[in-house]
Structure 1
């Protein structure tokens, strides 16, 4: 079984689930999960977790992401992007300066109302299913944070900009809200995700390239191992007499790391330097407790 994370370039027309399904065929492996949905018409970085790395899916979903979007002013649609039904059209008489000032006013903490055409569930049903039935339900605003916004190109009614944001941010909704604040309406023309955590657009691979790498036997060189995902954590190697504790999933005494701040997470290795998982320092007990175990002795 392949264990690790592969940086996939999701192309237009594919859902995130399509990517997973195709990778299962290419890699001949069932245990695969993606790290956050991209709309079918969006493209760009989609980290995909393989094997034991599927435990990382939630961790990566929570990470800050960067997008490059094109906003089209003057049009309002039911999906908040150009794939939807046009609800309103307005002349665009605002200036470049007004547009830039308005876009930058969204920096920081914001409250967004999720769009009806989204995968969020209300009473067990996905919002987009209800939307397709012509139903609209009340959605509670959600707190999101926009850490950075850069205007890349302005040729009204089109504006290309990049945004770095927290999890749960809908760029479609941001475009809609910018248009509403300007008084002329707006929607998203296109979306490219350029970064998720350490995964950059320049390193992402299309499915065809991944398939070619598998056939050439070079796929492993593109894989980020589970261990690498936690390279920023300090490593702890236990002495041989503690191997049994570690292998049985128990906490282990912190005999060499007693000055760490409480709840510090570390990469834990047995005496043979086999990576076991992530442990958390418990200062009161002077031990390392289990956070996430990725490997067992049977894996080595």
Structure 2
């Protein structure tokens, strides 16, 4: 007989407006405890000093995490000129300084190179894996790494404000972007050096920070129906995919891992999600009038 999982089968999304000073993992643990949930994860790590939307997935919603992680995200941040740090943000030690300060024309000329499809090298203190170990663990041990550049799509990078010490920017980008790397590379391009002073993720896919709960609210409502009432449906994690309705017979087939006939069409080979009476049944590929499941939901 299998060992019973601790907690209850809670399914859905809990959106937290993460404060500075805690890790994303700590936030997930707090939400899981507060809901007494069996399983939890999150869609996209925020640095401990960063604030903003952290989408916590519970139960079957964890199966939709990759779709939220792949979605566009928006960051508001301030870059301070004149110094690079070991972490590319204010928490690190200063490694190099510069007396150069860019003017508005220089900044306007530099920003276009950071839009569209770009390449960026992750910060030394990052979650990138190096021979099976996290880069931030190796960095804390004093290991200097030659991290490979990664592709990043930046849909938008705009100036919000500028003064003599730095700038405030807003960036909308795809999966895998490091705001700290943008600050570092922009400072180098301008010849003035720079690092992130503060960072806030304002939205991620369908989720917005302003609609999230604070950690204090999560703690105050812990283990109560009020907190469960703030759960969002797991289907929100599928917002970028086409919804295909199926009947009850097809829903049963899909839940058992078999193709299910669709009540409407889609493009051949398209990734979509099957629904029955508004509830997610499976994610799969549409072919020849049927949804072929790759993930199924048992709720």
* Aligned-residue offset at 1:30: 3.2
Aligned equivalent of 2:186: 178
Aligned equivalent of 1:79: 87
Residues 68 and 163 of structure 1 are in contact (CA less than 8 Å); yes or no, is this contact kept in structure 2?
yes
Determine the C-alpha separation between the residues in 2 that align with 1:190 and 1:273.
Answer: 40
What SS does structure 2 have at the residue aligned with 1:219? helix
Residue 139 in 1 paired to residue 166 in 2? no
Residue 276 in 1 paired to residue 281 in 2? yes
**Mean Cα displacement is larger for which, 67-76 or 22-31?**
22-31
Determine the C-alpha separation between the residues in 1 that align with 2:118 and 2:32.
Answer: 38
Query: CA 1:100–1:274 in 2, change beyond 3 Å: closer, same or farther?
Result: closer
Aligned equivalent of 1:234: 243
Structure with max Cα Rg:
1
Determine the C-alpha separation between the residues in 1 that align with 2:59 and 2:252.
Answer: 25
Determine the C-alpha separation between the residues in 2 that align with 1:239 and 1:127.
Answer: 48
- Figure out how many residues of one structure are paired with residues of the other and give that number: 290
Instruction: Write out aligned runs for 1:75-114 (5 A).
Output: 75-114=83-122
TM-score by length of 2: 0.89
Among candidates 285, 291, 294, match of residue 294 of structure 2 = 291
**Mean Cα displacement is larger for which, 1-10 or 171-180?**
1-10
Determine the C-alpha separation between the residues in 2 that align with 1:243 and 1:143.
Answer: 38
- Listed one character per residue, the Cα deviations across residues 60-95 of structure 1 (whole Å, up to 9, x for unaligned) are 222211100100011111111111111122113321
Among candidates 26, 39, 45, match of residue 53 of structure 2 = 45
Among candidates 235, 246, 269, match of residue 263 of structure 1 = 269
Determine the C-alpha separation between the residues in 2 that align with 1:94 and 1:273.
Answer: 54
Determine the C-alpha separation between the residues in 2 that align with 1:268 and 1:211.
Answer: 35
What SS does structure 2 have at the residue aligned with 1:173? helix
Residues 75 and 86 of structure 1 are in contact (CA less than 8 Å); yes or no, is this contact kept in structure 2?
yes
Residue 5 in 1 paired to residue 10 in 2? no
What SS does structure 2 have at the residue aligned with 1:143? strand
Determine the C-alpha separation between the residues in 1 that align with 2:238 and 2:134.
Answer: 34
- Listed one character per residue, the Cα deviations across residues 111-157 of structure 1 (whole Å, up to 9, x for unaligned) are 11111111111111111121112111211111111110111111121
When the two chains are superposed, the root-mean-square deviation of aligned CA atoms in Å is: 2.1
* Aligned-residue offset at 1:227: 2.7
Determine the C-alpha separation between the residues in 2 that align with 1:243 and 1:166.
Answer: 33
What SS does structure 2 have at the residue aligned with 1:222? coil
Specify every segment of 5 or more residues in structure 2 that has no aligned partner in the other structure, as ranges: 1-8
Residues 81 and 187 of structure 2 are in contact (CA less than 8 Å); yes or no, is this contact kept in structure 1?
yes
Query: CA 1:89–1:220 in 2, change beyond 3 Å: closer, same or farther?
Result: same
Determine the C-alpha separation between the residues in 1 that align with 2:11 and 2:248.
Answer: 26
Among candidates 165, 171, 180, match of residue 173 of structure 2 = 165
Determine the C-alpha separation between the residues in 2 that align with 1:185 and 1:55.
Answer: 41
